[in-house]
C-alpha cells in the first residue's frame, strides 16, 4: 500500500439497506476510495448473532456486494471482500477475547438493545460482537473508521484493546480514529424523527429501502411526519423537517442554508414531494445497476475472491506478528 491512510468499514448483509445506510456509509465510501486506502467488508459473521435463514443470508450477501458496486465502489481502488473469506478475523478475535473484560461487553448499548429484542437468542456471539469488530479493524492497521454516532462505543473498545495489547506486548496495532461525516451521518425515521431510520422498523413508511421504486419513495415521503408550524428550517424543535432538510442536502449536494432559502415559503406538502423526488432520482439508477450486476454471479465471485486474497495478505501479516508476540510457536514449513 502507498502512503495514504488506511480506512476500514463494514456493513452486515442482513437485508435490504435503507437510505440511512446509503447516506451514512456507502455514499461516502465512493469518495473516500480516492483519498484513502479503503478496505470494505461484507460482515457476514456479524449477522449470525441473530438467527438467519441460510439461503436468505447468501442472497443478501450477493445483493449487498452488487449494491456496493452499483454505488461506485471500485475494486481496482478499494479492497472489497466477505468477512468469512478471511479467517484471520475470527482468529484474532480469540486473542483479543483473552484481553477483554466481561463488564466492557455487557455495558455495550447494542448488546442491551439486541438482548431485549431477541430475548430467545441471547448468545455469546451477541456479546462478543464488539471484539470481532475490533479484529476487523485492527487486522489492517486501520487509521480511520467511518462510524455513525451510535457506533462510537464499539470503536472506543477497538481503541482500548489496541492500546492494551500494545502496552502488554509492545507496539503492534495502530489506534484507529473515527471518521464521522458532518452532514447526513445519521438519518432519522420518517415516522418517528427522533429515532434512527431502520429497516427493522415495523412501520414500512418509516424508512426508505434502496430497493424501493419511485412511486413507493414518493408515497413514503408524502406521509413523513413534520409538525404544525409550516416553516422549513433546521431546528432542534423541528426534528421531522430537520431530517428532511438533511436528506435533501446530502442527496442533492446542496448546503442546508441554500435548501432553507430554496424552500422558503413552500408548504410542507410541496417540500416533502421535492425531497421524495430528489431521493428517487438517486436511488433509481443505483437500483437498476444493482439488478444488472446481480445477473452475473461469476463476475461478483471473482471480485470477492480477489478482494479476499488482497485482504488476507494484510491480515495474516498482522496475525503472524500477534501470534509471535503472545508466545505461540509458529508452524514449521
Active site residues: 114, 196, 199
Whole-number Cα distances in Å, 326 to 120, 170, 276, 319, 320 = 37, 10, 54, 11, 10
CA distance 284 to 279: 9
Whole-number Cα distances in Å, 253 to 82, 258, 259 = 31, 10, 10
* Packing angle of the helix pair 109-117, 152-169 (nearest 10 deg): 130
Joined together, the cell numbers standing for residue 324 give 509471535
* Packing angle of the helix pair 152-169, 297-326 (nearest 10 deg): 40
Give me the residue label for grid cell 408550524.
229
Q: Are 304 and 81 in contact (CB under 8 A)?
A: yes
Joined together, the cell numbers standing for residue 87 give 479467517
Q: Which helix (H) or strand (E) holds 63?
A: helix 54-70
Cα 44–chain centre separation: 12
Joined together, the cell numbers standing for residue 186 give 445519521
CA distance 160 to 140: 16
Q: Are 220 and 205 in contact (CB under 8 A)?
A: yes
Spell out the alpha helix ranges (H) of 172-295. 214-222, 239-252, 256-262, 268-294
CA distance 109 to 240: 25
Q: Which helix (H) or strand (E) holds 27?
A: helix 27-35
The SS3 of residue 105 is helix
Amino acid at each position: 500500500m502507498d502512503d495514504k491512510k488506511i480506512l476500514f468499514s463494514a456493513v452486515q448483509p442482513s437485508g435490504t439497506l435503507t437510505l440511512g445506510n446509503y447516506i451514512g456509509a456507502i455514499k461516502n465510501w465512493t469518495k473516500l476510495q480516492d483519498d484513502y486506502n479503503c478496505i470494505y467488508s461484507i460482515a457476514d459473521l456479524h449477522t449470525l448473532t441473530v438467527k438467519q435463514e441460510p439461503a436468505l443470508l447468501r442472497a443478501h450477501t450477493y445483493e449487498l456486494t452488487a449494491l456496493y458496486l452499483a454505488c461506485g465502489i471500485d475494486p481496482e481502488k478499494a479492497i472489497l471482500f466477505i468477512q468469512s473469506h478471511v479467517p484471520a478475523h475470527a482468529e484474532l478475535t480469540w486473542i483479543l477475547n483473552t484481553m477483554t473484560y466481561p463488564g466492557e461487553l455487557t455495558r455495550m448499548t447494542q448488546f442491551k438493545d439486541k438482548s431485549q429484542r431477541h430475548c430467545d437468542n441471547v448468545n455469546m456471539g451477541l456479546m462478543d460482537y464488539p471484539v470481532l469488530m475490533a479484529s476487523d479493524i485492527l487486522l489492517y492497521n486501520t487509521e480511520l473508521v467511518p462510524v455513525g454516532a451510535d457506533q462510537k462505543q464499539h470503536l472506543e473498545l477497538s481503541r482500548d484493546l489496541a492500546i492494551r495489547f500494545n502496552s502488554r506486548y509492545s507496539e503492534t496495532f495502530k489506534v484507529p480514529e473515527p471518521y464521522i461525516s458532518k452532514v447526513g451521518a445519521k438519518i432519522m425515521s420518517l415516522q418517528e424523527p427522533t429515532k434512527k431510520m431502520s429497516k427493522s422498523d415495523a412501520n414500512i413508511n418509516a424508512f426508505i429501502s434502496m430497493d424501493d421504486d419511485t412511486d413507493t419513495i414518493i408515497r413514503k415521503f408524502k406521509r413523513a411526519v413534520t409538525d404544525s408550524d409550516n416553516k422549513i428550517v433546521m431546528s432542534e424543535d423541528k426534528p421531522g423537517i430537520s431530517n428532511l432538510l438533511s436528506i435533501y442536502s446530502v442527496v442533492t449536494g446542496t448546503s442546508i442554508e441554500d435548501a432553507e432559502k430554496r424552500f422558503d415559503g413552500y408548504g410542507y406538502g410541496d417540500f416533502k414531494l421535492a425531497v421524495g423526488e430528489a431521493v428517487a432520482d438517486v436511488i433509481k439508477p443505483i437500483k437498476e445497476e444493482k439488478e444488472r450486476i446481480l445477473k452475473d454471479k461469476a463476475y461478483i465471485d471473482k471480485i470477492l475472491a480477489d478482494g479476499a486474497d488482497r485482504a488476507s495478505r494484510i491480515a495474516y501479516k498482522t496475525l503472524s506478528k500477534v501470534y509471535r508476540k503472545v508466545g505461540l510457536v509458529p508452524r514449521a514449513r
